[in-house]
Structure 1
Amino acid sequence: MLYLLVFAQAHADFRIPELQSVSELYGFHIGLLENADPSRPFMVVELEEEMYARLLARRCILVKAVCEFYARGATYDEVHERNRACRSQWERYVPDTSFKFVVSAYNHSIPQRRQRDVVESFSYMDFLGKIDMKSPEITMVVHEEYDDKHGTTREKHEGDGAFREVFFGRLIEEGSARPLMKKFDVKKRVFYGNTSMEAEISLLMANQTLASPGKLIYDPFVGTGSMTYTTAHFGAMVFGSDIDGRQMRGREKRPGIIRAAAQYGVDQRIVDLCTFDVTRNPWRCGGLFDAIITDPPYGVRAGAKRLGRKNRRAKDEDESRSRPFQPSERPDDQPYIPPTRPYELSALASDLVLLARYMLKPGGRLVFFLPTVTEEYAELDLQTFLCEGMEVVANSLQDFGSWGRRLITIRKATTQQFPPPAFDPDKNVLSESDLTHVPAHKDFRQKYFEGFKKGKLGD
């Protein structure tokens, strides 16, 4: 059976990965046609049952509606011809089913007079049931797709009828997941910070993890917990950690993440929040988590840190390893604050994948954002941090012009057990000459503040 998906006007590159993730979550296959174009607002897909279409409408953040597909065409004559040919699909509604027709357009406003003409052009369907505009048993929908004309000055109905294509079908269900964006709106949250992820992206990331009841998900750079709330909303249990506990706690006695989770009714799904450096973590066994979800800091609003001194010599480090630890007494009663140093993004990405391979169950997913310089990016960049047993499932770009951030989804595709990663600190100081391929995300913070000028880093 063919079904028509109506997408929201946002994040076109995320649409297919979300559809495939939700279909994997619920255990059904979604067939993409050869001419499927994720950049367009309408897509026809193959599904075995109508129930699967309803599941997509209830879980996918980018789906506004799902319809049973009848016909499409560049003209209404083509639509009517093809609609007559599939009479067997809609003739059961002819005798006594209440109905209504809805005519809408993408990137255009259709005059009411022509809407009426469009509806009357379907009179050959001979529906004998009652016309009910408030609560009909079925809703027949007509969608006209127009080219994007944003940024141009024109009259309200200018170009009416000059559509790219028309789609026709029966509305099955309107998307009920998209309103979650308002529920998780950062502006309405009781606790947030300057790096809090926007609600729509947090929900998309949660879908990529296949979050559901019975799953345990980990955020190693939890910050103010934006992804914690959305994954917990879908039923998963969540564990979070960060090198800076102040971001998780806030200023009040009750931790800020717990207060915000209580606002959404998911505070009981927060397993725990701990403060530690992810490269010196307390995990003593792997294979604990079903997914790892995180937005690593990359230095624009907050920089990534790891334990260690900025200018410590290798000789001093060797000496410290050879002699036993001797705690020194402090003249005051202040707590010891360990020194930290910057954590370069390309090294962080490599370490994150190694951590995921150790901590994930077989088939588990790592979902994280990776900022890249647009002109320098190449598909080979992802190979610089992949390791044995890990494979890329999805790579979606949120484009900001000269740079963008990519939502990377990586699956643990092995049952082999690996030792805990060593997290070699020397990877932070690798120069471009040490690498066979320099990825577009290396030294991203420096490139960002220098305006992504070519040749700047080599001067």
Structure 2
Amino acid sequence: MPKEYLFVFAQAHEEFRIPELLSISDLYSFSIEFHRYGEGLKDAVTRPFMILTLDEEEHAKLLAKRCILIKSIYEFYAQGQSYEELHEKNKVVQAKWSQYVADTSFKFTVDAFNYSITQRRQREVIENFSYMGFMGKIDMKHPEITLGCFEEYADDRGLPSDERNKDGEFRQVYFGRLVAEGSARSLVRKFDVKKREYFGNTSMEAEISLLMANQAQASASKLVYDPFIGTGSMAYTTAHFGAHVYGSDIDGRQMRGKAKTAGIIRAATQYGVADKIVDLCTFDITHNPWRCGGLFDAIITDPPYGVRAGAKRLGRKKEREDRPHTVVPRPDDQPWVPPTKPYELSALVSDLVVLARYLLRPGGRLVFFLPTVTDEYEEVDIYSMLYEGMEVIANSLQDFGSWGRRLITIRKTSSTTYPPPNFDGLSADATEATHVPAHKDFRDKYFQGFRKDS
């Protein structure tokens, strides 16, 4: 029977919450209902508490075990804009908690968002629940049930610094029984880049790479590919969830490092997932070795966009027609390094999508970050790079002010066998001919400070 559950979220990456919940529920084949919010869902996502409906308590435990942004989940009992309203509603649902009254050990917790509650007031709040009549033992360390009361106050983020960290205006209070603590949050510390055996200046922060792994639905028996693997940030988190990872990059030095053992393998050994790294290869994705498609369950990557590292592809900046491209042995017997040229971002992401359509199995996911200029971004920017058989299922913004990066999740909806892409630079969508996406020439815009006159 469906029940309502109180979700307590970490106040970080709010736009990523719903896509993460939907990805994990889809991975485990159950649904989540948001019917309480309707048109107000966008506002609700920015707040630390949400009341969602699940069919089984086991589903709540699965979400708490896997979702990075969940702090805890409670069976929802009541909420109110005042304690009087909360207690009235809690008495109405006595059937939910009366089964624990007689002989269940318990403890109460009282917490608040954006407010400091003194111990004296916490005690007063707990005593006001005395009408529930619990007869069991109070056990603060190992109780059979934990009852949580959460006060929500107005958020002070966005206010001037001298007005922050002050007690805000009371909004409402929630009450429920603890179902599961969010155990996945501890992974953010485990995969902290600063504690990693091998990392570089382009390494993705741990929390974001974990969110990407969830969007890709990484799990046991799945095969995942990162075509711009760099120092391997996404490989470690994806492999942690049981997937096997194949990685490639045009610059093998990023994967190898300077030690005898490849840097990615050293870091993977640190996390106990070295056996999940299938292989690491050096090649340009536009000159790739893939001779058959439908290989991967997911493609997860952070393409270079020219701020910390420039995107490159094989070729010369200016083609020379006077002589053919030939490989001439070097006198010092060093390997020949092919010439490269800049890879413009809008062309790169369009090529990435068509490559994903070829390499993904039906239902497979492409997860990647796309930087966009805030004042120029339009929804059509994302859809202009799509190809037939591919659909956008999530688009979440990490806002940096004048620019942001969007975590895009695209699913392959077709079971058609597509031919290998030829990367001729032609867009799949006719809108490209008339629409210039905000991410085009992003590197130049970034270093020009996003000035409108530039």
Question: What is aligned with 1:16?
Answer: 18
Distance 1:42 1:441 in 2: 34
Letter in 2 for 1:361: R
Residues 277 and 306, structure 1, Cα contact 8 Å, conserved in 2: yes
1:444 and 2:446 equivalent?
A: no
Distance 1:426 1:306 in 2: 16
Helix, strand or coil for the counterpart of 2:84?
helix
> Is residue 182 of structure 2 the alignment partner of residue 172 of structure 1?
no
* Aligned mate of 2:319, from 284, 308, 312: 312
Distance 1:326 1:222 in 2: 29
Offset of 1:158 from its aligned partner? Answer: 4.5
Question: In structure 1, how many angstroms separate the alpha carbons of the residues matched to 2:311 and 2:34?
Answer: 39
Aligned partner of 2:362 in structure 1 is 362
Letter of the structure 2 residue corresponding to residue 197 of structure 1: M
Structure 2 residue aligned with 1:373 = 373
In the aligned structure 1, how far is the partner of 2:348 from the partner of 2:378? 19
Structure 1 residues 284-315: Cα deviation after superposition (integer angstroms, max 9, x where no partner): 000000000000000000010000000116xx
Are the equivalent residues in 2 in contact too, given 1:240–1:272 (CA < 8 A)? Answer: yes
1:309-363 CA-to-partner distances (Å, cap 9, x unmatched) read: 00116xx39x85xxxx754344442211100000000000100000000000000
Q: Does 1:222 align with 2:224?
A: no
* Distance of 1:367 and 1:296 partners within structure 2: 10
User: What letter is aligned with 2:45?
Assistant: P
Secondary structure of the residue aligned to 1:310 is coil
Distance 1:59 1:78 in 2: 34
Q: 1:157 to 1:434 in 2, by over 3 A?
A: closer
The amino acid across from 1:32 in the alignment is F
Q: CA deviation at 1:147?
A: 1.1
* Counterpart residue number, 1:4: 6
Which of these residues, 271, 278, 282, is aligned with residue 275 of structure 1? 282
Structure 1 counterpart of 2:351, one-letter code: D
- Contact 2:329 / 2:336 at 8 angstroms: preserved in 1? no
Normalised to the residue count of structure 1, the TM-score between the two structures is 0.93
Output aligned runs, 1:12-411, within 5 Å.
Answer: 12-35=14-37, 36=41, 37-150=44-157, 151-153=160-162, 158=167, 162-312=169-319, 316=321, 320=324, 327-411=327-411
Decide whether the 8 Å contact of 1:109 with 1:156 is kept in 2.
no
* Cα 1:113–1:156 shift into 2, 3 Å: farther
CA RMSD of aligned residues (A): 1.8
What's the secondary structure of 1:173's corresponding residue?
Answer: strand
Against the structure 1 CA distance between its residues 281 and 83, is the aligned structure 2 distance closer, same or farther, given a 3 Å change threshold?
same
Q: Which moved more, 1:107-116 or 1:139-148?
A: 107-116
8 Å CA contact 1:106, 1:146 repeated in 2: yes
Shift >2 Å, 4+ stretches = 149-159, 325-332
Shift of 1:115: 1.1
Q: Distance in 1 between matches of 2:167 and 2:450?
A: 40
What's the TM-score, normalizing by structure 2? Answer: 0.94
Alpha-carbon distance in structure 1 between the residues aligned to 2:16 and 2:142:
33
Counterpart Cα distance in 2 of 1:79 and 1:163: 14
**Percent identity of paired positions between Structure 1 and Structure 2:** 67
Q: Is the 8 A contact 1:111 1:157 kept in 2?
A: no
Structure 2 segments unaligned to the other structure (5+ residues): none
CA distance in 1, matches of 2:131, 2:182: 30
CA distance in 2, matches of 1:156, 1:363: 45
1:27–1:129: structure 2 CA closer, same or farther, 3 Å change rule?
same
Counterpart-to-counterpart distance in 1, 2:242 and 2:114: 36
Do the aligned partners of residues 156 and 374 (structure 1) sit closer, same or farther apart at CA in structure 2, a change above 3 Å counting? closer
Q: Which moved more, 1:34-43 or 1:70-79?
A: 34-43
**Partner Cα distance (1:372, 1:46) in 2:** 34
Amino acid at match of 1:350: S
Post-superposition offset of 1:156: 7.9
What is the rounded CA distance, in whole Å, between the counterparts of 2:438 and 2:329 in structure 1? 46
Instruction: Write the distance in 1 (CA, Å) between the matches of 2:451 and 2:234.
Output: 33
Contact 2:351 2:425 in 1 (8 A): no
CA distances 1:149-189 after superposition (whole Å, capped 9, x unpaired): 25554798745xx4111111001111100000111000000
Indicate the SS of the match to 1:171.
strand
Give the equivalent residue in structure 2 for 1:455: 453
Is the 8 Å Cα contact of residues 114 and 165 (structure 2) preserved in structure 1?
no
| Structure 2 letter corresponding to 1:8 | A
TM-fit CA distance, 1:81: 1.2
Distance 2:268 2:326 in 1: 41
8 Å Cα contact 1:369-1:406 kept in structure 2? yes
- Is the Cα–Cα contact under 8 Å of residues 64 and 178 in structure 1 kept in the other structure? yes
- Contact 1:307/1:340 (<8 A) preserved: yes
Structure 1 pair 426–156 and aligned structure 2 pair: CA distance change class (3 A): closer
Secondary structure at 1:164 match in 2: strand
- Matching residue of 1:430: none
Shift of 1:375: 0.5
Inter-partner Cα distance in structure 2 for 1:391 and 1:28: 21
Cα distance in structure 2, aligned partners of 1:451 and 1:232:
38
Looking at structure 2, the residues matched to 212 and 446 of structure 1 have their Cα atoms a distance apart, in angstroms, of 38
CA distance in 1, matches of 2:141, 2:288: 58
Deviation at 1:117, TM superposition (A): 1.3
Aligned residues: 442
